[in-house]
Structure 1
Amino acid sequence: MKVIHTEMKTLNQLLLIGFIMLTFLSHNAFGQNVVEEKPAYQITGKILEKGSDEPIPYAAVALIEVESGKNVVGAVADFGGEFVITNFGNGKYQVQVSFMGYQSYTSPVLSISEQNSVIDLGNLVIESDAVALQEVTVMGQRDLIEEKVDRTIYNAENDKTLIGGDATDVMRRVPMLSVDMDGNVSMRGSSNLLVLINGKQSAIVANNVAEALKQIPAEEIKSIEVITSPSAKYDAEGTGGVINIVTKKNNLQGATLNINSSAGYRGSNLGLNANLKQGKMGWSLGGFGRSGYNILGFFDNEQLVTNAGNMSTLRILQSADTKSNMLFGRYNLGWDYEIDKFNFLTASVSFGVRNMKNDQDGLFTETFMGDQLLSALLRDVNVSNTSNNVDVNFNYTKTYEKPLKEFSISSLYSQNTQNNDFINSLYNGTFDDVASRIKNNNLGRNQEFTVQLDYVNPIGSGKNHILEYGAKNIMRKASSDFAYFTAEGSTGEFTQIDDIAFSNEFIYDQNVTAGYASYTTNFLKNYSFKGGLRYEYTSIQADFRNNELAANIPSYGLFVPSLNLSRKLANGNMIKAAYNRRVQRPFLNFLNPNINAANPQQITQGNPLLDPELTDNYEISYSTFTKGMTLNFTSYFRNTTGSIQPVRTVMDDDVIFTTYENIGQERAYGFSVFSNINLSGKFSLNGSIDGYFADLDNGLEDPLYAASNQGFVLSGRLFGNYSLPNNWQIQAFGFIRGRQVQLQGTSGGFAMYSLNLNKQFNEKRGSIGFGAENFFTSVFRINNELQTPTIMQQSTVGMRNMNFKINFNYRIGKLSMEPSRRKKRSVTNDDIKEGGEGASGGAVMNNN
């Protein structure tokens, strides 16, 4: 195993980190020269609900002139309950706040003059106007969707239909995201995303995002944050953007134990989570398990393959019944300590396991030349995917008397081990006994050590100018040890194949050193600007145990700019524009040279020589708020060069061979519209429509390999919530996605829906509910199509996904809330393109 430690790489890293630290030391000199703008007439505040201290969005705010009683100017609170009143002069005023379902509020008299032109009213607490009439209760209800300047937030903790589900179910409800039947997530048509958990990427999501999401119970998720235009602070990875999964955290005194459970026809889960907080020290211990069973389906495939030499065409028909069983577990221990008012320590250790079994029973393959049957083969295919991962975080944060000023050091050690194996059993000509077997073992390992420094410094005495600096280094070691074996009959001993193409070890060492700087400012009253520049230097050493297959990959450096501009309009409306450049390094599933031949008619192999893909993103959005409703309109353009796409060719006359290449160009022209409506304190409705036009071209001129495709992709979702008397609640959800355009074909569309009824009891300490998913659809069918000059393929994947479940949740213990005095930080790695079609698992490489 070779590791890069060249003098040039070391010099680059030292120079970069030295530059960052030198910039840190010089920040005060720059800050002292900034001239503060003269403040304008302005009244600000934040509206909170009494008792819960939750913000109340969309509340109406009016500025009343005391002498005349005239309404001079008004505003509407944003999603966080914050409001800004401008465009008034000297005089005596009162601020009035009103919102349906709450008692109105009137402030004391405010005397406005040139010497007292800016007033911050702080938190304005208003009380819910609960009225009981014949057992009908009217109360305020917090919105499920929030929009902030740089992100859209889905508050999953308020969605009761998710009880007993997992993170995949949550993702399907989030605007701008699309999730297919296998759990693969895409944003605006791009699956090249950076997925974080509490601001950091863990080994849990590094290997396979789709499978990782199934390991996280929905009850553990507080919210999902969608960041479409990441700033320079984030790693350059993630072409489509950043998704941050925020799990439930609290700042408590005392002890508690939560029990979450669900039992259903297709799956069950059980989770136990405990918290202990005494004084300056806090502990958290959590663990849960999730199982899936009775997951049945089928597979049909028809493909026509043409030999380019003699132009003969073979027709292959395949069918099989499928069965999946799974068992996941995840455990974590967290610790935090408040050294003093300005210094904090946090640490955590998490351990996860996964065991998945996927079977194709009776995979029947018929091969025809015209009407003549050339062969008929029967196989059983058993795929085993097991893994374990460990993450260790340790973080130090220092704050200052000066608001927003902060310095932090974060570290992460992550290790993942995965076995992705299969056994293919071929029956004899009479289909009575097993004639031979083929086994593929693929052991993947990944280790990372990351150190990150971040510094936030407001310039001057106000909050209008903020500088942020940071540096980061990731040392990553990944490997894939793969081998093929053959055996006679059903009991014969396996013998390893002596061929370096089928039995070898692939080693991939990567080092990424990065530094960034960004500047945020508010100007001209209603404008905000955030711009930054990030530099990343990547060195790679890729090798095989057998040096005949050595891969020479040069080092490279990248500058990644980002620009964000927003303007607040009247009544809380906002318009935003953004540009950023993103880079997507290929994940090991794309690089892994292991040949995945679980289905001998469709073979997949990774490409160790892939380059990173580069994407320029442009977007503009408009948000408007009216009483009880918000609307957001976004349009965007995404241009990707060197896009990593699957490329299919014909091998051995009748086999479709898939590998991955950096195609010429991929463009996407898109839009999204979403709305959240609160019709009353009892009923809310939100929905969204997303669409884009995809244009892909690999830029090749050879007619046998040239490929291009284009077309529209549409998706939509709708969610409704209704609060019933006596702590009952009913929720419904539906999602639909049209066919998806690929370079050499299309992936079929699908739809899903669910209904949930929930009852809280014992002063809301516990809840019990009933849920139903896809209850009118016994079988889902997804039709996929592949077209090239030599291949015509149509395949159908079926899944019996109807599910009924009973949910139970109960909390034991008593806790008291205390104000949070710190902001936890953690390291994030976001630089890897995830996915790949069956490159047989392999090691994990985290990203940042």
Structure 2
Amino acid sequence: MKILLFTLCLINLSFTFVFAQEESGFIISGKLEDSDKKPVLFANVALYTAKDSVLTGGNATDETGRFQFPAKPGNYFLKVTYLGLDDKFVPNVNVVSGNVSLGTITMKTSAKVLQELIVRGEKSQMELQLDKRVFNVGKDLSNIGSNASDILNNMPSVTVDVEGNVALRGSGNVRILIDGKQSGMVGMNPAEALRQIPGDLIESIEIITNPSSRYDAEGEVGILNIVMKKNIRYGLNGSFTATAGYPANFGGSFNINYRRKKVNLIASYGNMYREGPGRGTSRQEYNSADTSFVYEQKTTRNRGGYSNNFTVGMDYFLNKNNTLTGTLSYRNSQNKNNSQLEYRDFDFQNNLTQTVVRNERETEPRTNVEAALNYRKTFETKGRSLSFDAKYIFSDETESAKYEQSTSGEAVALRQRSYNTEDEKNLLFQLDYIQPIGKDGKVETGLKSSIRMLDNDFSVHQLNEAMNWSILPDFDNRLAYDEKIHAAYLMASNQFGKIFIQAGLRGEYSDILTELKKTEQVNHRKYFNLFPSLHLSYKLEEDQTLQLSYSYRLSRPNFRDLLPFSSFSDSRVFRSGNPLLNPEFTHSFEAGHLLNMEKGSLLSSIYYRHRLGVVENITTVDSTGFTRITPVNLSTGDSYGFEFNLTYDPFAWWKWTANANIFRAINEGFYNDKVLKSDTYTWTSRVSSRVTLWKNVDFQTSLNYRAPRKTTQGKDLSQYSIDLGFSRDILKGKGTITASVRDLMNSRKQRRIVENAGYYSQSEFQWRARQFIVTFSYRLNRSKEKERNQDTGDGSEEQ
């Protein structure tokens, strides 16, 4: 409460200061026309001081080609820019004691060929920064027409398994943000939610492997930040995209904004219908003193449905130092998931004894609503700022399934149904302040409070001989999860010659209550932790930089890990959560070397992570052959790795990117008085080549590879895939047609072996078959060249 009162007082003082200011000066106005006397719409008109060429103001022309903006008394010149027309300079714009009308200004058609400018100004697919790597999604042709889950699976050092679980550098404890903030879009069920976000609405992916203290301490291995498309260009502009593919993949999206004077309006919408046919096989063998069994399982499934993502927002520029932003997002999806499991039971002489078929029909509606408010104030001192964020998130999801099971072709002998409702409410408050110190230094500080409440009700019903539905008591409970986290951080940075230093400390107080209401199991945890971070950078030469970093982080169990129930579709293999899970804690060290070359760049790094309370999925089998997979705090873990990211352009028309992550992972712990350990050497890599032909045609090939990896109970086998993409610009650069094939060889399959005390399992599963996609995109009042040479801007970052 004290944090909230302090925040409100600051906001009140800021707004009092804002509205007490008065804008003084006179109006500069005029009109733009081209050589044919037609008005030039939405051109940029910039005002510079004549003395030192400092940008002091400006605006864009409106629908009639007119412009106007305020200016204080002084001597200026104008620079007018518009794609396809020569830049226009208007000298001797003198503001003395009244408004200045410049009349009609004529712009001439440009005779220059822009191709050279396009190549030099184009955003690269990968941008390297001190504390993160930024990957521009649109530059990878295999990402066009896909979803967020597909795009993440194409990122270096990121892997997405067949169930949609995301891992970074081999660890699944990665934090996923939307526009630098926690979002309900990936809150309760990240794996499924990421599949519902159209890739056409994503601008870039930021990979932050060793976050500083300004970020939440959550995420053992780092942060993946999904930056959505947005812009604040003057006038009306945007983009429209339509997609069609096989297996069924149809959708459309738009992203538009309109800015005039003090108001910027934004709106984006994405609609998608997808079907995901998948299949898999497995063989289970178990032999003990009490029981023995052997069976093979064949699975076919189709997960699909439609989703809608809609966002509206407004930036209101109170004046040049104060901005108020409000956004409202709504997401709704309706999924229908059907599957068939066939069990073939054998005796130990490999004779078939019976065949059991189980069918599932599931509906899965989801709704997510987010409302956010941001106030940002900058000061006359460069780099000084104050910002406040508030967000409310509401999510609702219901999984309702019906099951029918028969044996050896007989009539249906077993009917069951399950219900799983998941509701979430989330409230966030955040305050951040940056104060520059000296020439290159600054101090950052902030406060954050988040309240999260989740409610999960799960039950399984079975039709008895009297044709009445009865609840199975072993699969009936209700989980209430209440989480309150309050944080504060302080961070300072400065540059001393060639050395840059950034050090910070974050404190987080956690109050977490987990309660199983029907069995009256309560687990209430309160703890306070300090999380230091340190980043060092040394510029060896003009084109080489050495980086060192350290951070201490934690990973709290996610929602799915805590749920005592997950899915009942497989009657013999049950995946469940563990309400008693504790967080993992990690010490992370990293050293990197950045080399900028004439035709590319190379970022190489080595890292080490020491983890405590590592969570792993443990497989157990009872005497009836029922297999249960449950996460537990199993072990202590150490990871050593080497990683490199290379961009190389041998010619202006040929671009290469390559990355690899080679690491060793050691885990050791105890479960049921037995030692479980693994020591594995493995690696992941991706190589991509893009060729530009005839100046407006791009062709891209990509290869992904994931090497085998040992686990504490078995082994994950290798996986590889090839993607192809082809694009061509049309309509004078305002439109683009893209065709792509994901997983050309149909080889993106998860293959796994599990061995444990007389139990052996070997499985292979493919979540989604090879995809063919065709996409058309159109840019309104923005050509492709102009997009490449203008910064779209991005959101603030979570702290």
Q: TM-score range by the shorter chain?
A: 0.7 to 0.9
Q: Are the aligned partners of 1:128 and 1:139 in contact in 2 as well (CA < 8 Å)?
A: no
Q: 2:259 aligns with which of 253, 277, 292?
A: 277
Superposed, 1:418-433 pairs within 5 Å as 418-427=397-406, 429-433=407-411
Q: Is 1:763 matched up with 2:732?
A: yes
One-letter code aligned to 2:444? E
**Structure 1 counterpart of 2:510:** 538
**Structure 2 counterpart of 1:439:** 417
Q: Are the aligned partners of 2:285 and 2:759 in contact in 1 as well (CA < 8 Å)?
A: yes
CA displacement at 1:660 relative to structure 2: 1.5
CA deviation map 1:797-826 (0-9, x unaligned): 135622222211112346999x99998765
Larger deviation, residues 477-486 vs 182-191: 182-191
Q: Is 1:320 matched up with 2:299?
A: yes
CA RMSD in angstroms comes to: 3.2
**Structure 2 counterpart of 1:170:** 151
Q: Are the aligned partners of 1:188 and 1:240 in contact in 2 as well (CA < 8 Å)?
A: yes
Gaps of 5+ in 1: 1-9, 26-50, 53-126, 829-847
CA deviation map 1:223-259 (0-9, x unaligned): 2111111011100101110111112221222223522
CA displacement at 1:130 relative to structure 2: 6.1
CA displacement at 1:589 relative to structure 2: 0.7
* Residues in 2 aligned to 1:508 and 1:374: alpha-carbon distance in whole angstroms: 45
**Structure 2 counterpart of 1:144:** 125
CA deviation map 1:172-204 (0-9, x unaligned): 333332233444322111111111111112111
Superposed, 1:13-412 pairs within 5 Å as 141-266=122-247, 267-293=249-275, 295-307=276-288, 310-368=289-347, 371=350, 375-412=354-391
Q: Are the aligned partners of 1:592 and 1:608 in contact in 2 as well (CA < 8 Å)?
A: yes
CA displacement at 1:305 relative to structure 2: 2.3
Q: Calculate the TM-score normalised by the size of structure 2.
A: 0.82
Q: Are the aligned partners of 1:395 and 1:826 in contact in 2 as well (CA < 8 Å)?
A: no
CA displacement at 1:149 relative to structure 2: 0.9
Q: Are the aligned partners of 1:536 and 1:557 in contact in 2 as well (CA < 8 Å)?
A: yes
**Structure 2 counterpart of 1:28:** none
Gaps of 5+ in 2: 15-42, 45-109
**Structure 2 counterpart of 1:477:** 453
CA displacement at 1:567 relative to structure 2: 0.4
Q: Are the aligned partners of 2:251 and 2:273 in contact in 1 as well (CA < 8 Å)?
A: yes
Q: Calculate the TM-score normalised by the size of structure 1.
A: 0.77
Q: 1:664 aligns with which of 632, 635, 654?
A: 635
CA displacement at 1:766 relative to structure 2: 1.0
CA displacement at 1:168 relative to structure 2: 2.9
CA deviation map 1:150-185 (0-9, x unaligned): 111112233334221222333233333223344432
Closer/same/farther in 2, CA of residues 713 and 384 from structure 1, 3 Å limit: farther
* Residues in 1 aligned to 2:753 and 2:711: alpha-carbon distance in whole angstroms: 9
CA deviation map 1:293-352 (0-9, x unaligned): 2x3332211112244xx3543222212322232322211111110011211100111111
* Residues in 2 aligned to 1:465 and 1:521: alpha-carbon distance in whole angstroms: 4
Q: Is 1:707 matched up with 2:676?
A: yes
Q: Kindly, what percent of the aligned residue pairs are identical?
A: 25
**Structure 2 counterpart of 1:29:** none
**Structure 1 counterpart of 2:98:** none
**Structure 1 counterpart of 2:653:** 682
Closer/same/farther in 2, CA of residues 692 and 726 from structure 1, 3 Å limit: closer
Superposed, 1:636-785 pairs within 5 Å as 636-700=607-671, 702-703=673-674, 706-775=675-744, 777-778=745-746, 780-785=748-753
Q: Is 1:495 matched up with 2:469?
A: yes
Q: Are the aligned partners of 1:232 and 1:517 in contact in 2 as well (CA < 8 Å)?
A: yes
**Structure 1 counterpart of 2:524:** 553
Q: Are the aligned partners of 1:172 and 1:735 in contact in 2 as well (CA < 8 Å)?
A: no
CA deviation map 1:368-400 (0-9, x unaligned): 355566654221123433311111100111110
One-letter code aligned to 1:694? A
Task: Tell me the secondary structure at the aligned position of residue 556 of structure 2.
Answer: strand
**Structure 2 counterpart of 1:803:** 771
Q: Are the aligned partners of 1:362 and 1:378 in contact in 2 as well (CA < 8 Å)?
A: yes
**Structure 2 counterpart of 1:74:** none
Closer/same/farther in 2, CA of residues 823 and 531 from structure 1, 3 Å limit: farther
Task: Tell me the secondary structure at the aligned position of residue 569 of structure 2.
Answer: strand
Q: Is 1:515 matched up with 2:488?
A: yes
Closer/same/farther in 2, CA of residues 138 and 519 from structure 1, 3 Å limit: closer
* Residues in 1 aligned to 2:650 and 2:187: alpha-carbon distance in whole angstroms: 41
CA deviation map 1:32-59 (0-9, x unaligned): xxxxxxxxxxxxxxxxxxx99xxxxxxx
Task: Tell me the secondary structure at the aligned position of residue 376 of structure 2.
Answer: strand
Q: Are the aligned partners of 1:451 and 1:827 in contact in 2 as well (CA < 8 Å)?
A: no
**Structure 2 counterpart of 1:601:** 572
* Residues in 1 aligned to 2:115 and 2:513: alpha-carbon distance in whole angstroms: 70
Closer/same/farther in 2, CA of residues 146 and 745 from structure 1, 3 Å limit: same
Task: Tell me the secondary structure at the aligned position of residue 698 of structure 1.
Answer: strand
Closer/same/farther in 2, CA of residues 494 and 342 from structure 1, 3 Å limit: farther
Task: Tell me the secondary structure at the aligned position of residue 151 of structure 2.
Answer: helix
CA displacement at 1:285 relative to structure 2: 1.4
CA displacement at 1:671 relative to structure 2: 0.9
One-letter code aligned to 2:535? N
CA displacement at 1:663 relative to structure 2: 1.2
Structure with greater strand share of residues: 2
Q: Are the aligned partners of 1:233 and 1:534 in contact in 2 as well (CA < 8 Å)?
A: yes
CA displacement at 1:694 relative to structure 2: 1.1
Q: Are the aligned partners of 1:452 and 1:827 in contact in 2 as well (CA < 8 Å)?
A: no
CA displacement at 1:283 relative to structure 2: 1.1
* Residues in 1 aligned to 2:453 and 2:163: alpha-carbon distance in whole angstroms: 28
Task: Tell me the secondary structure at the aligned position of residue 567 of structure 1.
Answer: strand
Task: Tell me the secondary structure at the aligned position of residue 555 of structure 1.
Answer: strand
**Structure 2 counterpart of 1:793:** 761
Equivalent residue pairs, number:
699
CA displacement at 1:140 relative to structure 2: 6.6
Closer/same/farther in 2, CA of residues 521 and 355 from structure 1, 3 Å limit: same
Closer/same/farther in 2, CA of residues 494 and 764 from structure 1, 3 Å limit: farther
* Residues in 1 aligned to 2:5 and 2:211: alpha-carbon distance in whole angstroms: 22
CA displacement at 1:769 relative to structure 2: 2.7
Q: Are the aligned partners of 1:411 and 1:827 in contact in 2 as well (CA < 8 Å)?
A: no
Closer/same/farther in 2, CA of residues 529 and 752 from structure 1, 3 Å limit: same
* Residues in 2 aligned to 1:498 and 1:791: alpha-carbon distance in whole angstroms: 27
* Residues in 1 aligned to 2:360 and 2:326: alpha-carbon distance in whole angstroms: 43
* Residues in 2 aligned to 1:745 and 1:552: alpha-carbon distance in whole angstroms: 32
Q: Are the aligned partners of 1:364 and 1:378 in contact in 2 as well (CA < 8 Å)?
A: yes
Q: Is 1:505 matched up with 2:487?
A: no
Task: Tell me the secondary structure at the aligned position of residue 182 of structure 2.
Answer: coil
**Structure 2 counterpart of 1:527:** 499
Q: Are the aligned partners of 1:139 and 1:682 in contact in 2 as well (CA < 8 Å)?
A: no
One-letter code aligned to 1:478? L
* Residues in 2 aligned to 1:256 and 1:214: alpha-carbon distance in whole angstroms: 28
Closer/same/farther in 2, CA of residues 472 and 155 from structure 1, 3 Å limit: same
Closer/same/farther in 2, CA of residues 226 and 138 from structure 1, 3 Å limit: closer
* Residues in 2 aligned to 1:700 and 1:155: alpha-carbon distance in whole angstroms: 44
* Residues in 1 aligned to 2:145 and 2:205: alpha-carbon distance in whole angstroms: 17
One-letter code aligned to 2:687? L
One-letter code aligned to 1:508? Y
**Structure 2 counterpart of 1:563:** 534
